Structure 1
Amino acid sequence: MTGEADIEERRGQVFCTSSVPARESLEFWHDAVLATLVGMDIRAEGGTYDATMRTDRLGELRITTVDCDPGEVHRGSGYVARGDGTEVFVAVQASGTAQVEQDGRYTELRPGDIAFFETVRPYRTRFPERFQLKIFAVPRGLLGQPESALGRITARAIRPVGGLAALLSPFMARLADTSESYSGPVADRLADSAVGLLAAAAAQQLDTEPAELPGAERVLLLRVQRFIRWHLADADLTPAAIARAHGISVRYLHRLFEQEGTTVVHWIRRLRLQECRRELPDATSMGSVARRWGFSGAPHFGRAFRREYGTSPTDWLLGERARLSPEAS
């Protein structure tokens, strides 16, 4: 077993699961996350885990970049009660996607998106594909917001489509990649600038906060989304079936998703495509993967894939296999 003391020696450096036997990789990673970030449960298929972490400090900021296999993390009330949540996490999704739940809200992070995580309340995040995440741990007082306000900006995707978000996302990502290059007064000034931008982003989120669904509707929407994820492989997962399972009308179901800026059909299709994309590089049959995740066959899957990603699954797969081949290293 890898102990916490062993992990402590690695803080501020790069370490990865390849440094231990494969059977110990998930336990090693659990200890690393506990020592470097906060306590949380980590689940992955197969019981082994391929992950790398680089952590550094820049002024008041702790910056951690993780590059990991698919999986799920859950910071439950037991971990929260241990009192290690002295910071607010601001995460930049560098690659892959993340499905985040906190404070009764759910959002999906795509590459370039930014999100706030509150560490004094439970949260759950699912990563359906390999991903890279850049996490900035910010002392909560530096954001200039009361506790009640911080609880209103978690689990909201800040898209880098314009304004402050378009400036903040690439700046924070680049800062994480180059943090080791800075020291002394330069490092302190960059950290101050980053904290100022993050505080401005938090304030802007509160100023432009969209109208919340009523509390009961929010709970219902989360329940519907969980139901969809549990039944994602079911080819009969239709709006009518979902509405019937929850005792609501199809019209009301569509209304719940409309207020989230999407449709129930698109939400299902996107999750299915993510699962297919995760399996395709190791699959022998594209059609079998497509049918396993609710598509009628390869043609149906191919049309949906091209509509979502702008390329065919065959071309995407060729690019992935070329990228992952030893000759490409």
Structure 2
Amino acid sequence: MPTVIDSLAERHRRPASGGSRALVLSTRSVPPRQSLDFWHDAVLATLVGMDIATDGPTYDAALRTDHLGSLRITMVEGDPGRVHRSPRLIARGDGRDILVALQSSGRAHVEQDGRTTELRAGDIGFFETVRPFRATFPERFQLKIFTVPRELLGRSEADMRRLTARAVRPSGGLPALLTPMLERLADTSEAYTTPVAERLADAAVDLIAATAAARLGEDSAGRPGADRVLLMRIKTFIRWHLSDSGLTPRAVAQAHGISVRYLHRLFEAEDTTVSRWIRELRLYECRRELRAPAAEPVSLSRVARRWGFTGAARFSRAFRGTFGMSPTEWLDRERASRRTGEAPCRPDR
């Protein structure tokens, strides 16, 4: 009976269809003696840098990675092994996103922030990429990993320290909704057109954020439930109206029948401000659109206005202030990396 890796390996040998967003990488596409080095490079290019150890000199694994709106989805299947996100790799700056991993099959023993736990089939785990973590896979496994931009999840570093290395089991409540949704989303990601994909990604991020909030609410430090729900509604509203240049804190507050002061207090609990959160979302969307292959030259001004910036100059100042380079410099590096076949330049990672 063919396995997932068999199908991935076969797809790696076939030309991708013209409309496909997915990238498929398999160790079966290289000589066995090169398989482990190939896998190191594949994981670095699609997730983050990790040290990978196995019991033998070769490794049988494959992955499929796809972008669905604001999410990057990576489905991984591999032999038993061990991974370590070490301080040495973190120092290279190749990861500031949150990894939300769904254990589809097999088991994983994970360790981060002084805790260890076992992920079983159906469980979900949160991984923080700016701090070390380890995972051991004692048997053949399949993972579906959702890379979530930190600004979309809206959790502080202190919150994330309470979420990592804790198994979110689908026994009831929000996890019982989240697990099957993520499972199906990963399996069918290529079937959706871009507008549908973006809406599904927004819904998935909202459900992931709600699940994280519920987990944090189990501790006494969690915010009151009404505030969490309201904040989720506000963030969803902001995402849907991101292209509106009139999306100000006052407009957001009026749309939800609350005072601007109360709105600011909600975002203070996230270690950010309303305006900064809106600006970071807009920059993320602009960067995502600029990165996508285009048949015609990209107009920075048009992209900036499409996502709510009032002009190219304001967009460029915000981009440089956040990423340390102008949009033009970043775009030139992206294009150069595509020509040379290197991993894309990610100034925020």
Please report the TM-score for the alignment, with normalisation by the length of structure 2.
0.57
| Contact 2:96/2:129, CA 8 A, preserved across alignment | yes
- 2:22 maps to which of 12, 20, 40: 12
Q: Which amino acid is 1:139 matched to?
A: P
Q: Write the mapping of 1:203-282 to structure 2, written as runs, cut at 5 A.
A: 203-209=213-219
Task: Tell me the residue number matched to 1:132.
Answer: 142
- 1:119 maps to which of 123, 129, 140: 129
1:81 correspondence with 2:91: yes
User: Which structure 1 residue ranges, 4+ long, deviate > 2 Å from structure 2?
Assistant: none
1:99 correspondence with 2:86: no
Q: Percent identity?
A: 65
| Contact 2:36/2:58, CA 8 A, preserved across alignment | yes
CA-CA distance at 1:86 after TM superposition: 2.0
Distance 1:210 1:98, change over 3 A: farther
CA-CA distance at 1:184 after TM superposition: 2.0
SS in 2 for 1:137: strand
Task: Tell me the residue number matched to 2:317.
Answer: none
CA-CA distance at 1:15 after TM superposition: 1.6
- 2:187 maps to which of 177, 182, 185: 177
1:54 correspondence with 2:36: no
- 1:23 maps to which of 15, 26, 33: 33
> 2: CA distance between counterparts of 1:164 and 1:109?
17
> 2: CA distance between counterparts of 1:103 and 1:12?
33
Q: Write the mapping of 1:59-78 to structure 2, written as runs, cut at 5 A.
A: 59-78=69-88
Task: Tell me the residue number matched to 1:194.
Answer: 204
Unpaired runs of 5+ residues, structure 2, are 1-15, 222-349
Q: Write the mapping of 1:314-329 to structure 2, written as runs, cut at 5 A.
A: none
Q: Which amino acid is 1:59 matched to?
A: G
CA-CA distance at 1:208 after TM superposition: 1.0
1:167 correspondence with 2:183: no
SS in 1 for 2:100: strand
Unpaired runs of 5+ residues, structure 1, are 1-9, 212-329
Deviation track 1:173-216 (CA, whole Å, cap 9, x = no partner) reads 110000001122111100000000000011111101499xxxxx
Deviation track 1:282-322 (CA, whole Å, cap 9, x = no partner) reads xxxxxxxxxxxxxxxxxxxxxxxxxxxxxxxxxxxxxxxxx
SS in 2 for 1:38: coil
> 1: CA distance between counterparts of 2:155 and 2:38?
35
Aligned length: 203
CA-CA distance at 1:151 after TM superposition: 1.3
SS in 2 for 1:47: coil
Task: Tell me the residue number matched to 2:160.
Answer: 150
Distance 1:209 1:113, change over 3 A: farther
> 2: CA distance between counterparts of 1:121 and 1:114?
19
